[in-house]
Amino acid sequence: MPTNANLVVVASNGKVSVGPTATPAPTNVASALNAGFLEVGFISEEGATFTESKDITDINAWQSFYPIRKIVNARSVQVSFAMREFNKRAIEFALGGTVAKVASEWTYTPPSPTATGIVSLVVEWFDGTKSYRLYFPTGIVSEAVESTLTRTAAADLPVTFAATDPGTGGSIYTLFTNDVAFSS
């Protein structure tokens, strides 16, 4: 297969939206997301990192230096990114809990220790006329959220969102695109 520079994707812009798991799922790359999905705001210039991994056990045999079989024990799918904005949606998504207005100010209350914070997530990115939409029906923020507060840099909210089994027999995630490269 010859090389083709037009097949290289540069995610020059994008956005992340979060919604309750009951929010109707997107069905394509072009239509507007349901109003239940709310954009979390600016994401750091590093964008988002999508990871799909497997936990594999090797079955070895006396007669072979190489595994004779591999068994997939578990699979994991996650997306990581750093939110640049401290707003209600970003804080509630990253940390769980709730933000509420009390008198003339806002108060953040952490979730109960056993709360899972399961939500739906959509990551979208664009390269010229090519659009991509990655939809996760269910998942949670699975890693520690560590924000550095300093005089010389943005106080980001870095999150790792781990997809969970939606329990409906559906896919753990769906990628929609209008990229014609997928037709070949």
Query: Which stretches of 33-114 are assigned E, i.e. beta strand?
Result: 38-39, 43-59, 69-83, 98-102, 105-109
- CA angle at 107 for the pair 102 and 110, rounded to the nearest 5°: 135
- Predicted structure pTM score: 0.91
Per-residue pLDDT of the chain (184 residues; tens, 9 = 90+): 689 888 899 999 999 999 999 999 999 999 999 999 999 999 999 999 999 999 999 999 999 999 999 999 999 999 999 999 999 999 999 999 999 999 999 999 999 998 889 999 999 999 999 999 999 999 999 999 999 999 999 999 999 999 999 988 889 999 999 999 888 6
**Per-domain boundaries in the chain:** 5-24+34-183
- Of 167, 177, 55, which is closest to residue 126 (Cα–Cα)? 177
Query: Which stretches of 84-156 are assigned E, i.e. beta strand?
Result: 98-102, 105-109, 119-127, 130-141
Instruction: Output phi, psi for 180, to 5 deg.
Output: -65, -15
